[in-house]
Structure 1
């Protein structure tokens, strides 16, 4: 299903379905296993929709195609909200930008694709987790621009605990603490991350984080880095 969903409205070959679902260990029955699975997928019905007629999966000579309206996908609706949020931010409509990105985040569950296995599921899961973290960073950046530093500190602490190697999250938490006159706590966040990076990756903090740290040491205004330019996060376990 994930192969068809990722390439909706495009024909996906049987060989590709086998490869993306089972990787290097396909079933012994080979391509013969695909039609029964597709039959079951067609019969799936969303909860609360008794009149559902089934998933529109068409058989083509080259493979199968899932025929759907792009606007029916949560991922596309979420991305649209985030784009609109960025446009609102660019035009100075910060409250509207915050509302739109918050609405997008409200569409997420705790863990994407939970329970699904296979190489494709794992790849898509990591990508979706990354997208969610980027949206969270954008929303918190808007909280900062709206002067709500104190409000986001508990949330940021939680994200740093869940993503202990995330430099962008540490940057945001350090900035929020510093803006609330909690300099010692902000410096402690830096020292903790520096230790974890050294122990687990053999590296040190990046340039953005180092600049924030040095500004706090000198009691100067911290640099404000665009969220989109931040180094990407590594999800912790």
Structure 2
């Protein structure tokens, strides 16, 4: 892909042979706020709230327009052209959703799920590996504010179905050695998740490792949700 917007990690623009981390946290937050709703108009009031919560500066519109101008210039520099469109009290980032890593992640996961359900685990696993490579760390890393924190949580939760599709396909194909460390780490994050614990037990038994008993014990002793 010749250029893209990244939010699955630090917010960045990638294109023209380099990565642009943008000039300020507010620029990154604005780009993320528009990219999350790519192709749809976002009102000025919504953008002001996403950038400043309930404590905007004295002239939030002027500050917002200045950040928009900077992002437009950066988009042109990576070869994206004129993608940020202003209409009556709204801004729209007009581009293919697959140019934004979080939306591409969702698309790849949906395709992989369909393939896996149809019995094509090989192609499903290839797409899932491509989806996982999009993650570079915590979503919207380092960005402050209520909206950023909320979206961080949503995007992190959306990663779980991808991991579950992959582990199911890997189990069906007997890839136990690859799964045990991944499922052990996932169970540490979700100690009461019976599905994850069950898959760790299956992978551990298949490998002949003691992790199945560990998973049972962890699930048994975990506090109830």
TM-score by length of 2: 0.74
State yes or no: 1:86 paired with 2:113.
Answer: yes
State yes or no: 1:145 paired with 2:172.
Answer: yes
Aligned residues, how many?
195
- Structure 2 residue aligned with 1:129, among 156, 171, 177? 156
State yes or no: 1:15 paired with 2:22.
Answer: no
TM-score by length of 1: 0.71
Return the alpha-carbon distance in structure 1 between the equivalents of residues 174 and 78 of structure 2.
49
| Residue pair 1:41, 1:55 contacting (<8 A) in 2 also | no
Using the TM superposition, give the Cα deviation of residue 135 of structure 1 relative to its aligned residue in structure 2, in angstroms: 0.8
Report the secondary structure of 2:219's partner residue.
helix
Report the secondary structure of 2:159's partner residue.
helix
For 1:172-210, what per-residue CA distance to the aligned partner results, in whole angstroms no more than 9, with x for missing partners?
21221233344x6423322223333x2xxxx26xxxxxx
| Residue pair 1:56, 1:66 contacting (<8 A) in 2 also | yes
Unaligned runs of 5+ in 2: 1-29
Return the alpha-carbon distance in structure 1 between the equivalents of residues 95 and 178 of structure 2.
40
Number of the residue aligned with 1:159? 186
Using the TM superposition, give the Cα deviation of residue 142 of structure 1 relative to its aligned residue in structure 2, in angstroms: 0.5
Report the secondary structure of 1:58's partner residue.
strand
Number of the residue aligned with 1:190? 216
Using the TM superposition, give the Cα deviation of residue 118 of structure 1 relative to its aligned residue in structure 2, in angstroms: 1.6
Report the secondary structure of 1:188's partner residue.
helix
Return the alpha-carbon distance in structure 2 between the equivalents of residues 194 and 21 of structure 1.
43
For 1:35-65, what per-residue CA distance to the aligned partner results, in whole angstroms no more than 9, with x for missing partners?
11211222225xxx95636662222122222
Number of the residue aligned with 2:9? none
For 1:136-159, what per-residue CA distance to the aligned partner results, in whole angstroms no more than 9, with x for missing partners?
121111000111123311222233
Report the secondary structure of 1:44's partner residue.
helix
For 1:2-53, what per-residue CA distance to the aligned partner results, in whole angstroms no more than 9, with x for missing partners?
22222223222211111122222222333332111211222225xxx95636
Return the alpha-carbon distance in structure 1 between the equivalents of residues 156 and 136 of structure 2.
11
| Residue pair 1:11, 1:62 contacting (<8 A) in 2 also | no
Q: Within 5 Å, give how 1:66-81 maps onto structure 2.
A: 66-81=93-108
Give the root-mean-square deviation of aligned CA atoms: 2.5
Q: Is the radius of gyration larger for structure 1 or structure 2?
A: 1
State yes or no: 1:113 paired with 2:140.
Answer: yes
